[in-house]
Structure 1
Amino acid sequence: MNLHEYQAKELLREHGITTPRGVVVENTGHAEVATGYLGGEKWVVKAQIHAGGRGKAGGVRLVNSVDELREAADALLGSSLVTYQNAPDGQMVSRVLVEETLNISRELYLSLLVDREHERITVVASASGGMDIEDIARTAPEKIVQEVCDPLMGLQDFQCRNIAFALELKDKQIVALTKLLKGLYKLFTTADLSMVEVNPLIVTDTGELVALDCKISVDDNALYRQKKLSELRDHTQDDPKEAAAHAAGLNYIALSGNIGCMVNGAGLAMATMDLIKLHGGAPANFLDVGGAATAETVAKAFKIILSDSKVKAILVNIFGGIMRCDIIAEGIIKAVQEVAVTVPVIVRLEGTNVDLGRKMLAESGLKIISADGLTDSAKRVVEAVS
């Protein structure tokens, strides 16, 4: 689960990390109130969406007067901001963050994430902040420093100093960075985060360290014990189909193709999408209905898939291990009848009672195409949309 920038910064401040002073604005009329609180003559207006690349897309604007602030807020609020991370549809801007401006001496990069290879929390830092870290990793990997944290000892002072030296910080800045990193590490572990990224972490003209921007992702699997954080979820930022799937307990990710996929098991779902691509098709989604799919689950899955107007055919790929294939076939038949599916449906069943399941599909009188094997099913569904 992603947080908005203003929500992430509230968490940073709770852990003693300095951020710019800011006010969240939900309508243009509140913009002038923000300036009265912040003071000054220049401000930054930042669209609050769950996507990077806002600056390049016009979602971050420097304004030099109240009139310019009002115009910027009016232009952003209610608009759909399209960035390289959320193209082509973009995301709705329902809030903007108005912040004070600061005099920047340097821009640094800092993040904490879970390193899957080491199975440890890892600190990633670079003296080249304010840029896409992926570009730095590709063009100048020597500019990136990492420190892997011991799960028992946590982030150690010597590791903080290593990072500070790599970032060319000096004197009191080393102490400040150590405090900042310890605060981030505590936040990461206590809030069950999967990532926290401060980019840029700026050095002001007076030598202070300030988190100018921040992204935070919370581990979805830990939300049951992070009640306060789970309440911060902004469903307006989610794809409507993904939000519906989340409510139904399904694992769904929207893609840009025209072949709907309904599969039980994440690994099988990935293999199914790979084969569709291999044979010239384009998956419209990733959808894992789970190992114990029922008629109700399948019906919900069909409804979510068909809510995507781009879907021209559906591939159902089920391995009946926990659930028998005849029960799965019964669920598919009921779901197709209930949802009134009009696009071609290709079904591949394997597992217990597979012959009975295929017979039930064949005798259902519905336009359900039974496939023999995974490759055959992929070919058939690609042909159906050709």
Structure 2
Amino acid sequence: MLTRGRQLLRGARRHRHGHRHSPSSRAFGISARQRRDGLGYEGTIGNLKIGRDTRVVFQGFTGRQATANAKESIAWGTNIVGGVTPGKNTEHLGLPVLPSVREAMQKLKPHATGIYVAAHQAPAAIEEAIEAEVPLIVAVAEHIPVHDLLRSKSRLVGANSPGIISAVGRCRIGFQPLPCFMPGRVGIVAKSGTLSYEAVASTTRAGLGQSLCIGMGGDVLAGTRFVDALKIFEHDDDTEGIVLIGEIGGDAEMEAADWIKEYRKRSLNPKPISAVIGGVNVAPGRVMGHAGAFTLPGEPDALAKVKRLQDAGVTIVNHPAKFGEAMNALLGSSGRASSGAATTGASQRRGMHMMRRVRPTVQPPVSNFAFQKRNLYIRENLAFDLLRERGINASEYSGKGRKRMLAVGIDRANMSPCIIASPATNDQNPHAEAKKFPFDYIKGFEPSQTLVIAEHLQLGGTAKESLGKLINNLVSLYMQKEAFLLETSFVERLGDLKVVGAHFGFDDAAFRSTKRQGDIHALRRIEDEDAQEVEAEKDGIVYIKLAGDGNIGTLVNGAGLAMNTVDALADAGGKAANFLDTGGKATSETVKKSFQVILQDERVKVIFVNIFGGLTLGDMIANGVLLAFKELEMRLPVVVRIRGTNEAEGQKIIAESGLPLHAFDDFEEAAAKAIELADNRRHLSEAFFVASVNATIRYITVSDKALFLGLAMLACFMRLLVP
């Protein structure tokens, strides 16, 4: 094994899906030392195995967040040896503070760095750590501009990740809630922070505990993917069972399923694996809280990921609270829970359907221009204007000509931009034959790829020349304006190409963090958006109104947990009216604002509060619920489930409030109560309406037409008053 000081967690270009790539196109650079030693990505995965001896520094060490986190981590046992704050050479928390990562590397010899700086400073901090050759880089910040990461030559854990933590080795680089953890045998890798905390709490309650927990993160681009973590868990003696937590967006789960399938073939007694995938019931075309929780052309949906994992022998659950039960059963059947005889992987397969019944909810498509912040979609006519400014023929589809799809997007597996092309003519599924053609961000698109793309699009002779012009203009716009997706549909017209459809999305983080791309973000049209969603955004709340007849309002902290709440309610026979993420740092005031938003939806009959406390405190959420009841004069029943940090305090506040609140610890019990109350309110509303009409008819005569009309209108009005 190579020494940590000689292993920089950065990767070389890998060959995927049969494509050949240039050495730098993975967007992971290789240091001079790596080139000398022949190290690449595969040789540095071992840096993820942290423990008691891991020497940790914090970048942004003297900041408020880093200070609070460092105090907790040190008390827990993490070997923090100092930190970095530009321009300072002093002490903090009794530890040295140095002005640069390079100097910290020389004097403190860290194995890992945690980056605790603002999002717009994070790329530079990551690059500084890369240049200093710190072996492991952990970035917890969210909303790092996508193009900053595409330009970067870094390899890291994150971004938008809770970090990495060894419960066995008492080493935390991140902000995970420590009271939930217990040294044990289950390795966890997750896109979602809150879902990973739920999984930790569940395995702790089951007496299993955790070995190593790795946060892949929910950003568009992830420095560490599921397969990287699985390779660590495979050879880790502390890990006997594995939990994988995925969601919509990208193909990392599919890649993991393929790896697991091969692993189970080559291993005599494979470690059992259980998983949950969030986003089965997403709002089509929307970003579901996490920056990366959306589907680019050609990417699989949640159900496709579930099926691929099931086919690989993974046990799927529908809620992370079930991981403890599932892993206990799987470890027992594998022979890893006792001295009993080991069994083959077939025993895991026999139980793989016991935990989940996937029941997708079909919802009508929403407008292409509806969007949630962290990205910006612009009107099609404005997208046409951007193309016409670049000499591209663009106008509405006349109904003539075969439509094909061409886009510039992100190849998440390769951490690079790519061309996405599909010759499909079916408007219902234009991405059916979509294929990605990655290219290096720095070097740009290689013209030699044009002919290959033209052949895939099944284009005629002269149109191939026009294709090069369209691709070059789209790539130029993509780079200059920091887009994450420029999707077009086009037709051949007299040997030329005409764009007849455009769906353009731009990265909001670049504007929010550094005020870049102001001209593009001036194209935002508030009038195209849902008023309640815009109002919620002002308070840092991510709210998406779901289509259909959903009658349960959901209030959740964390995007992954919010997605899973909608899915798990559907599995139990309920219908969520909305997706709502208060954010990882929810306050009592945020909770009250969330209630206000939900109450504006007349379909809602009950509000389901599902909170798992990491940074969010259970007692704070409980006080927020009470605040909402008092100030908003609540008439709807509320079901509250509080778990995690300060859960006992939060549950006590709810129980002793004297208000008509229904408090639960178990998710299934809470969901069942919310569904029951929603159905009762609906039946009550219908019964009240019928009774009002009957009473009106009983006390009037045929000649009392005016009175009848007035009372009938009154009855209708009163029905509206009954939620």
Structure 1 segment 323-334 matched on structure 2, within 5 A? 323-334=616-627
User: In 2, are the aligned partners of 1:110 and 1:123 still within 8 Å (CA)?
Assistant: yes
Could you tell me whether the CA contact under 8 Å between 2:405 and 2:431 is conserved in 1?
no
Q: Distance in 2 between the 1:105 and 1:253 partners? A: 36
Task: Give structure 2 stretches of 5+ with no counterpart.
Answer: 1-375, 680-723
CA distance in 2, matches of 1:241, 1:17: 37
Does the Cα contact within 8 Å between 1:111 and 1:195 map onto a contact in 2? yes
| Letter aligned with residue 134 of structure 1 | N
- Pair 1:349-2:645 in alignment: no
Aligned: 1:282 with 2:575: yes
1: CA distance, partners of 2:445 / 2:631: 55
2:505 to 192, 208, 217: 217
Structure 1 residue 149, shift from structure 2 partner: 2.1
Evaluate the alpha carbon distance shift between residue 375 and residue 178 of structure 1 in structure 2; reply closer, same or farther with a 3 A threshold: same
Give the C-alpha shift of residue 136 in structure 1.
6.2
Worse-superposed segment, 224-233 or 304-313 = 224-233
CA contact (8 A) 1:123 1:148 kept: yes
Structure 2 residue 495 is the aligned partner of structure 1 residue 203: no
- Report the secondary structure of 1:292's partner residue: coil
**What does the per-residue CA deviation read over 1:15-67, in whole Å, with 9 as the maximum and x for residues that have no partner?**
332224xxxxxxxxxxxxxxxxxxxxxxxxx6xxxxxxxxxxxxx8xxxxxxx
Paired residue type of 2:529: D
Mapped partners of 1:282, 1:269: distance in 2: 13
SS of the counterpart of 2:429? helix
Deviation at 1:9, TM superposition (A): 1.0
Partner letter of residue 237 of structure 1?
D
Q: In the alignment, is the contact (CA less than 8 A) between 1:123 and 1:146 conserved in 2?
A: yes
Going from structure 1 to structure 2, the CA distance change for 1:109 and 1:324 (only over 3 Å counts) comes to: closer
Aligned length: 299
SS in 1 for 2:477: helix
Aligned match of 1:110 in 406, 415, 419? Answer: 406
Match of 1:193 among 483, 487, 496: 483
* Distance (Å, rounded) in 2 between the aligned partners of 1:293 and 1:6: 38
Distance in 2 between the 1:298 and 1:344 partners? 16
Letter of the 2:415 counterpart? E
Matched, 1:259 2:552: yes
Residue of structure 2 in register with 1:36 after alignment: none
Return the alpha-carbon distance in structure 1 between the equivalents of residues 647 and 484 of structure 2.
Answer: 40
2:387 pairs with 1:12:
yes
* 3-state SS in 1 of match to 2:598: helix
1:379 to 660, 672, 681: 672
Distance 2:675 2:411 in 1: 37
Structure 2 SS opposite 1:213: strand
Q: 1: distance between equivalents of 2:621 and 2:479? A: 41
8 Å Cα contact 1:361-1:368 kept in structure 2: yes
Deviation at 1:342, TM superposition (A): 0.9
Amino acid at match of 1:125: A
Could you say what secondary structure the match of 2:407 adopts? strand
Q: Does the 8 A contact of 1:113 with 1:123 survive in 2?
A: yes
Secondary structure of 1:380's aligned partner: helix
Matched, 1:132 2:427: yes
Letter in 1 for 2:540: G
Per-residue deviation, 1:171: 5.5
**CA apart distance, 1:227:** 1.6
CA deviations 1:148-175 (Å, max 9, x no partner) are: 2223322210112211233344565333
More strand by proportion, 1 or 2? 1
SS in 2 for 1:215: strand
Q: After TM superposition, list the pairs within 5 Å mapping 1:77-116 onto structure 2.
A: 106-116=402-412
**Residue identity matched to 1:203:** E
Once residues 348 and 249 of structure 1 are traced to their aligned partners in structure 2, the CA distance between those partners, rounded to angstroms, is: 22
Do the aligned partners of residues 316 and 156 (structure 1) sit closer, same or farther apart at CA in structure 2, a change above 3 Å counting? same
Q: Is the 8 A contact 1:198 1:212 kept in 2?
A: yes
Cα distance in 2, alignment partners of residues 132 and 269 from structure 1: 31
* Partner SS state of residue 203, structure 1: strand
Distance 2:409 2:649 in 1: 48
Amino acid aligned to 2:639? I
Q: Deviations over 1:180-217 (max 9, x none)?
A: 10110111122222222221x12223x22221222212
Aligned 8 A contact 2:406 2:421 in 1:
yes
Distance in 2 between the 1:290 and 1:167 partners?
42
- 2 CA distance for matches of 1:324 and 1:222? 30
Alpha-carbon shift at residue 343 of structure 1 (Å): 0.8
State the match for 2:416 in structure 1. Answer: 120
Distance across 1 between alignment mates of 2:525 and 2:377: 9
2:450 pairs with 1:157: no
Q: Please tell me whether Structure 1 or Structure 2 has the larger radius of gyration of its CA atoms.
A: 2
Rate the CA distance shift 1:132–1:119 in 2: closer, same or farther, 3 A.
farther
1:305 maps to which of 598, 618, 622: 598
Contact 2:554–2:609 under 8 Å retained in 1: yes
- Residue 250 of structure 1 corresponds to which residue in structure 2? 541
The answer on whether the counterparts of 2:411 and 2:436 sit within 8 Å (CA) in structure 1 is: no
Tell me whether 1:230 sits opposite 2:526 in the alignment.
no
Show the counterpart of 2:456.
166
Contact kept in structure 2, 1:371 and 1:380, CA below 8 Å = no
CA RMSD of aligned residues (A): 2.3
Contact 1:318-1:348 within 8 A present in 2 as well: yes
- Structure 1 residues 302 and 177, CA, compared in 2 at 3 Å: closer, same or farther? same
Percent identical across equivalent pairs?
37
CA contact 1:108–1:126 (8 Å) conserved in 2: yes
Q: Corresponding residue for 1:364? A: 657
Kept after mapping to 2: 8 A contact 1:324/1:352: yes
Give the secondary-structure state (helix, strand or coil) at the position aligned to 2:543: strand
Which of 564, 586, 589 matches 1:293? 586
Alignment-derived partner of residue 41 in structure 1: none
The code of the aligned residue for 1:112 comes to: V
User: Gapped runs of 5+ residues in structure 1?
Assistant: 21-45, 47-59, 61-100
User: Structure 1 pair 7/135, CA: closer, same or farther in 2 (3 Å)?
Assistant: closer
In structure 1, what is the equivalent of residue 209 of structure 2?
none
The offset of 1:116, in angstroms, is 3.3
Picking from 133, 136, 147, the partner of 2:437 is 147
What is the alpha-carbon distance in structure 1 between the residues aligned to residue 443 and residue 428 of structure 2?
Answer: 28
CA distance in 1, matches of 2:412, 2:428: 18
2: CA distance between counterparts of 1:311 and 1:330? 22
Distance 1:117 1:19 in 2: 32
State the distance in 2 between where 1:340 and 1:127 align.
56
How far apart, in 2, do the equivalents of 1:271 and 1:168 lie? 41
Aligned to 1:51: none
Give, in angstroms, the shift of residue 306 of structure 1. Answer: 0.7
Partner of 1:93: none
> What code does the residue aligned with 1:16 have?
G
Cα 1:164–1:353 change in 2 (3 A) is closer
Partners of 1:327 and 1:176 in 2: how far apart? 59
- The 8 Å contact of residues 320 and 349 in structure 1, kept in 2 or not, is answered as yes
For 2:183, the equivalent position in structure 1 comes to none
The alpha-carbon deviation at position 352 of structure 1 amounts to: 2.9
Paired letter, 1:175: E
What one-letter code is carried by the residue in structure 2 that aligns with 1:277?
A: A
